[in-house]
Amino acid sequence: MVGAGQLARMTHQAAIDYDVELSVLASSADDPAVLSGATFTIGDVDVFADLAGAAAMGDVVTFDHELVPAHHIRLLEQGGHVVRPSGGALRFAQDKLYARRSVAAFDRPAVAVPAFAPASSAEDVAAFAERHGWPVVLKARGGGYDGRGVHVLAHPEDARRLLGGGGGTEAAWVVEEHLDLAAELAVLVARRPSGEMATYPPVGTLQVDGMCRELTMPARLPAAVADEAVRLAESVVERIDAHGVCAVELFVTADGRLLLNELALRPHNSGHATIEASVTSQFHQHLRAVLDWPLGPTTLYSPAATVNLVGGPGRMDLARRLPRALDVPGAHVHLYAKSPRPGRKIGHVTALADTLDDALDAARAAASLLTGE
């Protein structure tokens, strides 16, 4: 697995159950999956020799993040490595402009996306806003996560401040209409090379400053919208020929439209509640899918909610606070062994209960006991 963050750490936990040896390419010896005991090499994804060295340790190469140079993935594939998801599929998560353009061209079924345009200058942004109105959302084509690289611009001056005067020849940005959102969803679909797919019920996601903070599973949605979200997600995953777990992030607009936001081709924050609430966790499912093993049932045992633990400005003594959080009935705590820098996801709490409201109350209570907020 390329990357050794919390997703690799939790994939490692699942790998232990199947006696699969997970080797991770870590950037440092205190990455979360190294601290959990996965076999590791330390290297830089931008250095092909490091990536190739890590790939040589396994039968299948997969990813905990998509910030890997596309030409390095192509070289691995050309060198005969089994890469799942493939570089071609992963590109949908690496390049927001490529993803928007490609998905907008899908037909039968067509998939709606926000109005968008490539942008390389403040003038490009202003021209788009002339047609679609301010504010607009400006997104870096690649390299962003947790809302980094996503900017809401209210005036032409905002665009000038961010992009400066001139523009490059190649568009480094995508500008899109600022949607009035009623909700955000994620649908996790697992797909194996033989074609079998397994889809989890849509998850409701709540973002604060572009970062996911709370999740409810299943999402609070009319059944018809949930069904449409599942159909849409499955059609996209098939269309891009993804292998492994793929998270399809969707927008529900205030006027009732369902639009594709973005794709992540790996286990995803929105699926953390599957560890306790689903018959098969997303991490077991990802391993089964990339190894082309039979997929597991995605049935929910119970409504569940997850609250992410995010580092704040002060010191956080999680170890001291943990016992009190564990006292909250129904709460399951996951700590990632990351130093709590501001804005960094350092853990999560999932709670199961008979209703989503009760699950969310319990997860919030345990999370605030841990962070002291």
Binding site for Mg ion (CB under 5 A): 249, 262
Residue 8 binding: pick among ligand ATP, Mg ion, none (C-beta 5-8 Å cut-off by kind) = none
Select the binding partner of residue 88 from ligand ATP, Mg ion, none (C-beta < 5 to 8 A, by kind): none
Q: How far is the CB of 91 from ligand ATP (least distance, A)?
A: 14
Q: How far is the CB of 264 from Mg ion (least distance, A)?
A: 7
For Cα atoms 102, 237, 251, give the angle at the middle one, nearest 5 degrees.
Answer: 75
Alpha-carbon separation of residue 66 from 32, 87, 89, 142, 371 (angstroms) = 17, 10, 11, 9, 29
Cβ distance to ligand ATP smaller for residue 291 or 310: 310
Q: How far is the CB of 268 from Mg ion (least distance, A)?
A: 9
Residue 178 vs 321, nearer CB to ligand ATP: 178
Which chain residues interact with ligand ATP by CB under 6 A? 114, 137, 139, 144-150, 176-179, 181, 184, 207, 210, 249, 261-262
Question: Angle formed by the axes of helices 48-55 and 70-78, to 10°?
Answer: 50
Pick one of ligand ATP, Mg ion, none as the site partner of residue 258 (Cβ within 5 to 8 A by kind): none
Q: Which does 276 bind (CB under 5 to 8 A by kind): ligand ATP, Mg ion, none?
A: none
Please, what is the minimum distance in Å from the beta carbon of residue 225 to Mg ion? 19
Smaller CB distance to ligand ATP: residue 118 or 144?
A: 144
Smallest distance, Å, CB 150 to Mg ion? 8
Give the sign of the dihedral formed by CA 9, CA 10, CA 16, CA 19. negative
CB nearer to ligand ATP: give 65 or 321: 65
Q: Tell me the CB-side half-sphere exposure of residue 69, using CA atoms within 13 A.
A: 13
CB of 369 to ligand ATP, least distance (A): 25
Nearer to ligand ATP, 55 or 153 (CB): 153
Among ligand ATP, Mg ion, none, what does residue 84 contact (CB within 5–8 Å per kind)? none
Q: Distance between CA 203 and CA 148 in Å, rounded? A: 22
50 contact choice in ligand ATP, Mg ion, none (CB below 5 to 8 Å, kind-dependent): none
Contact partner, 210, from Mg ion, ligand ATP, none, Cβ < 5-8 Å per class: ligand ATP
Tokens read off for 24: 């991770």
CB of 215 to Mg ion, least distance (A): 13
If the CB atoms of residues 97 and 363 are measured against ligand ATP, the closer one turns out to be 97
**What DSSP state is assigned to residue 352?**
E
- Smaller CB separation from ligand ATP, 147 or 156: 147
110 binds, among ligand ATP, Mg ion, none (CB under 5 to 8 A by kind): none
Q: Please, which residue, 149 or 167, has the CB nearer to ligand ATP?
A: 149
Tokens of 372: 């002291």
d(CA 175, CA 76): 32
Separation CA 8–CA 28 (nearest Å): 14
**CB 268, min distance to ligand ATP, A:** 8
Helix, strand, coil shares of the chain, percent, nearest 5, are 35, 25, 40
Q: Strands (DSSP E) along the chain, which ranges?
A: 23-26, 39-42, 116-119, 136-140, 150-153, 173-177, 181-191, 197-199, 203-208, 211-217, 244-253, 258-264, 304-310, 331-335, 345-352
Residue by residue, DSSP assigns 255-311 as TS-EEEEEEE-S--GGGTTHHHHBSS-HHHHHHHHHTTPPPPP--BSS-EEEEEEE-
